Amino acid sequence: MKRKTYLVSDRYLEHISFSQIQLEQVELGDLSTLDLETTGLKFNHHSIIFVIVGTKENQYVIDYNFVDVEKLKILLSRPKIYLGHNLSFDLPFLIERGFTFTTGQVYDSMETELTLVKGTMHSVSLQNTLKRRLGVDDLDKGITMEFTRMSPTNPHFEDRHIEYAYKDVLHLEDLREEQLRIITKLKQNQVVRYNNEMVVVVSYMKVTGMPLNKDKWMDLYYANLKRCDELEIELDGELNKLGLIQKARLKIRYIQTDLLGGGTDVVNVNKNHINYASPDQMKDIFSHFNQPIPKVNKKVNGKQVEKDTTGTKELEDYLLSRPKSILKGFLLVLIQYRVYSKRVSTYGKSFLEEHLTSKGRIHPDFKINRTATGRMSSNNPNAQNIPALKEFRECFEVVGTDSMFTCDLSSAELRILASLADDKVLKGLYESGEDLHSYLATPAFRYLKDDPTFVVSKKQNSELRTLMKTVNFGIVYGASGSKIGKVLNVSKQKGERVLEIMKLTIPATFKFLEKQEWTGQNIGIVKFDNVWNQVRYFEQVAKGEEVTKEALSAIGREAKNCAIQGVNGQMIKLALVNIFNYIREHNLKSRIISAVHDEVIIEVVEGEESHCDNYKLMMEVAGDFFLDGVKMEAEGGLNKCWSK
């Protein structure tokens, strides 16, 4: 096949041997590849060097800073489908600069490959994907860093940079054909379609960003710092009670100020005291009191090794197994301290310095399909890990007369479980409107209270209903009797008995979970549903390799939950695509700004509030699309900030 590569630029470069043409000479059909070379990773900070478009016969490497950008926008509006690998990186650069894209305009070979290798360790880089699917191994990614050193106003590039750029798109048409052949065979066309449409949705979400009130965030930061200091003093007191005398902390903290009087740093002057954030010093405390140190199993060189730890989860388990430990009072305070110190270190001043832009927004990078269940995730920053506390969410607020609509699916995972398990009891509860958590809590607490007349409801013993709610959601993740006992603050034996009572109450649910566990541990391929046909592979099992007892237990736990999480993720993707298209079709100015698990957040422009009922309806319809015999319910509300 004869291939031709052109450099498209308004300037003539004598040292370039490739044919040089003007933008007007570029010919694009309905199908075109798309890729960018940039000076860095940040769409709103770094610059575009090349825009690469074309087909496997004709590639056009466009010298972005030396062409008419308005004419380029017109040119890039022509293709009906763009092929690319990791287009959720490229599109934000173009969207930020005024280019527009529609949800049906993208085929992303990376997102498609992620669907095909779900749960495996296969790399989905372009280099590895081409080698795996086409046997092509001619990419050299070493030149990438050279683009980061180029001047955006006068980039100096050579033939090898152009050759590198066009090779990135050279095989994308053949790759798409091979992927679609497999996708069609597996009947996964729908899941691939929506994962690809989501590329456009998350690209616009990233560019829009989430508004964040800096002053509120800093007030919260200082409040959490103060609480850390108070807990340090409490920890000193607990050790004093045990005979390990700590001198009084002379002065807790002081705030350095800059010339304008603003706080610029926070300094802890108690450097010679115990550092309660130090794992080694905490281990020393266990040793000082001749107490066994909590253990954790970790992989070292592929083998499970037991190691000492003072991790929060291990401390909680330690207290559960040793309720009369002399360190109990100290450890209870230490666990609190860990919570607040995490908020300070992860969601404090450094968070703003790293992520808040001059426009007063953070711009999370939403990952469509990176998890083993296909559920969305995010990073830089991780919007899904921001504490789900009122005081944190209130920091994310709109300015002026606009508002924020927060909508989430109600008890989504339990409704999905009822549908997948075809549990007549659970389905009946949802159909009748009877409260599921009260229904399951009553027999459990009749046993625990040894009272056959005991009742739990939203009005009677509601605090026990709340506890049982945690247990009910826990069964989705394969909660053990030990875990249930921990939640209910009872012994492991009583927790196991509660689990048995639940199995007798909703047997079909537990039969389904046991089947999923068996399938994961013995077949290694767990199917989510019969709608989009997404599967999750447990590669070691599927290949017939030897699996350790610990690894097999982990596979069982993941197998129980992956279909439930997977369908939940599919619901949100369907809802996001439909809401995004609705906003476009109605020429609205409102914008989707975030999605956290089964929750969608929309920035609503004044005058467009009436559409929120339709957003809520689209969430419910997306849920119903995957459910059989269970209706999805969504809850939403308008506010000035991110709120439930």
Cβ neighbours, 10 Å, residue 243: 8
**pLDDT given for residue 255 in this prediction:** 59
**pLDDT given for residue 251 in this prediction:** 54
pLDDT > 70? residue 241 = yes
Amino acid sitting at position 214: K
**pLDDT given for residue 456 in this prediction:** 93
Q: Rounded to an integer, what distance in angstroms lies between the CA atom of residue 319 and that of residue 315?
A: 6
pLDDT > 70? residue 523 = yes
> What would the mean pLDDT of 470-479 be, rounded to a whole number?
86
> What would the mean pLDDT of 298-322 be, rounded to a whole number?
80
Q: Rounded to an integer, what distance in angstroms lies between the CA atom of residue 232 and that of residue 228?
A: 6
pLDDT > 90? residue 1 = no
Amino acid sitting at position 104: G
pLDDT > 90? residue 213 = yes
**What is the C-alpha radius of gyration for the chain, rounded to an integer number of angstroms?**
28
pLDDT > 80? residue 490 = yes
pLDDT tens digit sequence for 190-207: 999 999 999 999 999 999
**pLDDT given for residue 260 in this prediction:** 40
What percent of the chain shows pLDDT beyond 70? 95
> What would the mean pLDDT of 110-126 be, rounded to a whole number?
95
132 membership: H or E segment, kind and range: helix 126-134
Q: Rounded to an integer, what distance in angstroms lies between the CA atom of residue 477 and that of residue 373?
A: 13
Q: Which of 178, 217, 167 is nearest to 642 (CA)?
A: 217
Amino acid sitting at position 131: K
pLDDT tens digit sequence for 260-273: 445 555 566 666 68
> pTM here?
0.92
pLDDT tens digit sequence for 161-190: 999 999 889 999 999 999 999 999 999 999
pLDDT > 50? residue 460 = yes
Lowest mean pLDDT among 320-329, 347-356, 434-443: 320-329
**175-182, long-range: CB within 8 Å, 24+ apart, which pairs?**
175/109, 175/129, 175/130, 175/133, 175/134, 176/83, 176/107, 176/109, 176/112, 178/133, 178/134, 179/109, 179/112, 179/113, 179/116, 179/133, 182/116
